[in-house]
Every structure is written in structure tokens, then in C-alpha cells.
Amino acid sequence: MITLYGGPTPNARKVAIALLEMKLPWRLEPIDILAGDQLTSEFLALNPNNKTPVIIDDHGPNGAPFTLNESGAILVYLAEKTGLFLPNDASERALCWQWLMFQMSAIGPMFGQAAHFTHYAKDRHPYAIERYGREVKRLMMVLNHRLGDSEWLSGTSYSIADIATLPYVRSILTAQPGQYPHVDRWGQAMLARPAVAEGLAVGTARAETIEGGLQGFTDEHRAILWGDRQHSQR
């Protein structure tokens, strides 16, 4: 059994999609980051960086329990554990790593900063909103160019690079249909997969705050996520 610690975030959902696609036995241990679950001593024992997702694989390497954080590392671990969703061709496998790193180093951080300054920051910062908003558009154009040349990010086969990327771009495809036609085509192909649709629903119980217009988002939530509670000594 694999336990996934997480909630309604792109990083937890990408791991949920992988677990479902790979048909591994797993369960969700909900972590409510708005309530500060990630700051408890129990969670910090799993990940001192207080970020989700984290997995515990009861049958890890050599059969021993194994704890792992960082969503990209988790996807690589699960793919290597099962031998699934990694291209066999050496060139395509290298491209899988390339586009997975692109998601981890560019799409994740830049989309996150855009969301922060557009929706979550207490004060409006026009420069930051414009800077990160433009970068999101640029990265979407990079994806659109790649997917105009290739069926999947790594080439001819669906891989963990695709799994990692969709949870971040899905809302843009919904809000701006037709603006990135090649990404639209790719996104529809992914959403047609039952495991993808199910994985994207992980944690929807808290989506009314995180994804549904930020109803009820308060200064206490800011303190937990970015303020005094986040940075206090533990």
C-alpha cells in the first residue's frame, strides 16, 4: 500500500494520477494546508520542508517502508517501480526527463507566483502580476510549440512528463479554449483517460477556497502559508 499525503494541489494530483494510471494500491491521507496540517510535528517528521505531496510506500526498495517527497522525484520513483510511463527509446526517455524538469523548474514555480500575486497576495503589485502573467503565457506558448510537433511531451508515448504538466495547465485550457490549440488537443486526450479525470478530483472537498474564487481566504491562511506560522522556529 502507498499512502499519499496531500490535498487539492497540482503537485498532489499529479501523483494521484500516476498511482491510478499504474494501478498501484494506495490511499489518500488528506493534508489541509489552509488549516496548517503541514506544520504539525507529525507531518514535519515526514518532510521537514513542510510541503506536500509525500508518499510512504509500505513495500519500498528491498521491501522496507520508504518515505519520499518532491512530486517530480515521486513520479520518477513510481515509474521506475512499475516500469510504466517511461519511454523505452533512449532519446524519448531523455526528453521525458527534459519536459519533467521543465514542469518542475518553470511551469510549477512561475504558475505558482502568478497565482500568488494575482489571487492570494494581500496587496496588489501590478509589476509582479504582469511579470508572472506574461511568463505564464510564454510557457504556454512553449508547450503549444512542442505539442504541435509531438503527440506527447516526450514524443510518441504518454509519460510521467505529461502527467506532471496537465494539473497546472488545465484551468487555462478551460478558461481560454482555442488559444493554445495543440495544448488543447493534448489536454483533451489526457482528460479522456479515466485515471486522469479521477486523479484531478483529489481533494475537491477544499476546492471552494483554493480553486473556487478564494471564498473565505483570510490573513490566518496567509500566516500559515507564507507568514509567521510558516517561518516560526519548530
Tens digits of per-residue pLDDT, 33-61? 988 999 999 999 999 999 999 999 999 99
Domain ranges of the chain: 2-84+214-231, 90-197
Contact 11, 71 (CB under 8 A): yes
Question: pTM to 2 decimals?
Answer: 0.94
Domain 90-197 has CATH 3.40.50.720: no
Beta bridge partners of 27: 3
Look at strands 2-6 and 26-30 and give their pairing. Answer: parallel
Q: Which three cell numbers stand for residue 151?
A: 503527440
Helix H or strand E encompassing 68: strand 66-69
Lowest mean per-residue pLDDT among 126-130, 166-170, 213-217 = 213-217
Q: Count the alpha carbons within 13 Å of 160 in the hemisphere toward its beta carbon.
A: 32
Name the phi and psi angles at 116, rounded to 5: -60, -55
Cα separation, 134 vs 142, whole angstroms: 13
User: How much is the CA Rg of the chain, to the nearest whole Å?
Assistant: 18
Cis ω on the peptide bond leading into residue 53 (within 30° of 0)? yes
CATH (residue range 2-84+214-231): 3.40.30.10
Question: Where residue 207 falls among pLDDT bands split at 50, 70, 90?
Answer: low
Distance, CA of 186 to CA of 135 (rounded, Å) = 21
Are 163 and 17 spatial neighbours (Cβ–Cβ below 8 Å)? yes
pLDDT in tens, 53-103: 999 999 999 899 999 999 999 999 999 999 999 999 999 999 999 999 999
Phi, psi torsion values for 110, nearest 5 degrees? -70, -40
**To the nearest whole percent, how much of the chain has pLDDT over 90?**
77
| Cell representation of residue 11 | 503537485
